[in-house]
Chains A and B, each alone.
Chain A
């Protein structure tokens, strides 16, 4: 049974921040929603309430950076770039302030609907010069994201998972290092964030159906290791499928397409994720299924890529879920 970890960010942030007094937690009225309420109560001297005023919060954080502090701005991902985009550019990104933008509720991980779902954040953030973009895919990566973010010499945006988070990996997140979770030869699958768990589920069924999957998990989206992606893509027979909790435009699908095109590698590419659409409010499993971000969507995408029918259905994926996730943990430990 896969281990579920409760509020991994909360403990990780506190453990790190108390060792680094230049780290200041900023919050815009979502303190418990981003799991730093306990930190606020125990370490009020390292916590700043900025109210519901993101434009000021971002420029203010830029000023704090000028004073030598490293602000960790905690809010939902959408609130870090939609309303205060100008402030993000002028006060943080341009001058390369060491501001850590901790974006919770990436993609459709919230029932909050359009206003709360950061579905184009990767696209926006990766196009900003000087910005680093990281994404967490399990509890171990959430636990490591604080130190990883604070190691960046400049601004960094992080997609952070909250609440009950599965533990898929037992080695810490290393900036710039993708995880090779399977080394198959038919098709390359590239995932990040919550879609990695879906791909792990799918892989169990695909293995049984005789499809050999090479699976990469990304936690560093910018800088994007195009060279490694191209090498992996070149090593499989049929092509590449990307699956992301984001619009396919501008996200991992786009990055992969750019890498393949830049390298002149003629491989078919299927980009799964939100297809030029907003999402709406609903549970995560419902939304992942409705918008085609889940394991069955990946199976269908691979079938399309390879021109085959595997016979895998939703029931088959449910059956493999627990074991597959667990075995992946073991494989990672080798």
Chain B
């Protein structure tokens, strides 16, 4: 365990990961749709980040998210981002960018599980006038910059990390990434720039679930040996089982002096909810085709997660 990572919550990271799956599951059943497979694949990673790996201060934002307060403009001096849910923007604290902003539902659930947002926050998800947006916006809880277009997160993180390193700030920059982003050229531009400039206060953990919007990545666009590609572009890159927290801890502790660290967390997009395998490879957004299917998934997944089925309105 890195010494800089005090437990920030009384729950274990395993408990938080389970809680994240439960919350996203309940939300998906209630709303007849949601980013459920992303919870399956990334719950351990986000739980690990918030509960162990990141050095974050106490939230500066209200537990119940305020409504949408307008976009940044010269006429909106009170504008704030969602960064305050990750703690104050001070030199000693780490920053976290959620690069695949459609993981927002999972990220919000993690904020709740780690005591950074009230459960009511999730009820505001994708409601008109809410800041708890479906695709995490800069002003959404836990979001610090706009990342909705895939591939820009690592570059932004690299720029921030460069600045923090130059100023001698101890806080590091972490980017949570998704493997589809390796199809974007900008990802490779970012890695080469971070390596060229020795930006080693930057690290990323990538949810390698091999899924993208159109289906399985290998069907949509093969990306080859991404670990070797990251190494060739100058990063320090390790592969782990993304559901194995001990492996995650060891990967985070890797020496990556002079280079950014990329942790490839190989995951299952159906982890903890095996009934989702029926839908493979269409897992990007789970919506039920019928009330019967919804009821069947409700029963099966609730049993897998050890909770009662969701009592939802039809």
Residues of chain A whose beta carbon lies under 8 Å from any beta carbon of chain B = 48-51, 53, 55-69, 86-87, 90-91, 94-96, 129-130, 153-154
Q: How far is the CA of A118 from the CA of B151 in the complex (A)?
A: 26
B148-179 vs A, Cβ < 8 Å mask (1 yes, 0 no): 11011001111111111011000000000000
Whether A51 lies near B192 (C-beta < 8 A) is yes
Nearest 7 Cβ contacts at the A-B interface: A63-B159, A67-B163, A59-B155, A56-B189, A60-B159, A53-B189, A63-B160
Q: State whether A90 touches B146 (Cβ < 8 A).
A: yes
Q: List 9 A-B contacts (CB under 8 A).
A: A55-B189, A60-B159, A61-B159, A62-B145, A63-B158, A69-B166, A86-B149, A86-B152, A95-B138
Across the two chains, which residue of chain A brings its CB closest to B164?
A67
Within 8 A of A (CB), among B234-253: none
CA distance A63 to B156 in the complex (A): 4
- Which single residue of chain B is at the shortest CB-CB distance from A69? B163
Q: Out of B71, B155, B163, name the residue touching A56 (CB < 8 Å).
A: B155
Closest A residue to B146 by beta carbon equals A90
Contact B152 A130 (CB under 8 A): no
Contact A68 B72 (CB under 8 A): no
Query: B146–A95 contact, CB under 8 A?
Result: yes
Count A-B pairs with CB separation below 8 Å: 111
CB distance from A240 to the nearest CB of B (A): 29
- Residues of chain B at the chain A interface (Cβ within 8 Å): 71-74, 81, 138, 144-149, 151-152, 155-164, 166-167, 185-186, 189-190, 192-193, 196-197
Which one of A65, A67, A90, A129 has the greatest number of beta carbons of chain B within 10 Å?
A67
Q: Are B190 and A64 within 8 A (Cβ)?
A: no
Do residues A129 and B193 form an inter-chain contact, with CB atoms below 8 A?
no
Chain B at the A interface: SS class: helix
Contacts A60-B158, A63-B158 supplied; 8 other A-B pairs, CB < 8 Å: A61-B159, A62-B159, A63-B162, A87-B152, A90-B152, A91-B145, A95-B145, A96-B73
Chain B residues in 8 Å Cβ range of A86: 149, 152
Residue contact A56 to B146, C-beta cutoff 8 Å: no
Query: Within the complex, which residue of B147, B167, B189 is in contact with A68, where a contact is CB–CB below 8 Å?
Result: B167
In the complex, the answer to whether A129 meets B159 with C-beta atoms within 8 Å is no
Asked if B74 contacts A91 (CB within 8 A), the reply is: no
Checking B151, B152, B163 against A66 with a beta-carbon cut-off of 8 angstroms, the contacting residue is: B163
Given the known interface contacts A61-B159, A63-B158, A63-B163, the answer about A91 and B73 at a Cβ–Cβ threshold of 8 Å is no
Q: Please state if B155 and A64 are interface contacts (CB–CB under 8 Å).
A: no
Known: A66-B145, A67-B164. A56 touches B186 (CB 8 A): yes
Distance in angstroms between the alpha carbons of A67 and B202 in the assembled complex: 14
In the complex the two chains form, is A60's CB within 8 Å of B72's CB? no
Determine whether the beta carbon of B193 is less than 8 Å from that of A56: yes
Chain B residues with Cβ below 8 Å from A56 are 155, 158, 186, 189-190, 193
Q: How far is the CB of B199 from chain A (nearest CB, A)?
A: 10
Residue contact A94 to B72, C-beta cutoff 8 Å: yes
Which residue of chain A is the closest to B158 with respect to CB atoms?
Answer: A60
The CA of A56 and the CA of B146, in the complex, are separated in Å by 15
How far is the CB of B235 from the nearest CB of chain A, in Å?
14
- Take A56-B186, A63-B156, A63-B163 as given contacts and tell me if A90 and B72 are in contact as well, using a CB distance cutoff of 8 Å: no
Tell me, rounded to whole Å, the shortest Cβ–Cβ distance linking B307 to chain A. Answer: 38
* A60 in contact with B193 given A90-B148, A90-B149 (CB within 8 Å): yes
Roughly how many angstroms separate A199 CA and B100 CA in the complex, as a whole number?
A: 51
| Complex-state Cα separation, A61 to B157, whole angstroms | 10
A68 partner residues in chain B, CB cutoff 8 A: 163, 167
Taking a contact as CB atoms under 8 Å apart, the answer to whether B193 and A130 are in contact is: no
Closest to B144 in A: A66
Cα of A236 to Cα of B147 in the assembled complex, Å: 50
A59 contact from B72, B161, B167, B186, Cβ within 8 A:
B186
Taken together as a complex, chains A and B put the C-alpha atoms of A86 and B153 apart, in Å, by: 12
Cross-interface CB contact of B163 among A55, A58, A64, A153, cutoff 8 Å? A64
For the complex, give the distance between the alpha carbons of A287 and B70 in Å: 45
> What residues of B have a CB within 8 angstroms of the CB of A61 in the complex?
159
Partner of A96, one of B72, B190, B197: B72
Shortest distance between the CB of B143 and any CB in chain A (Å): 11
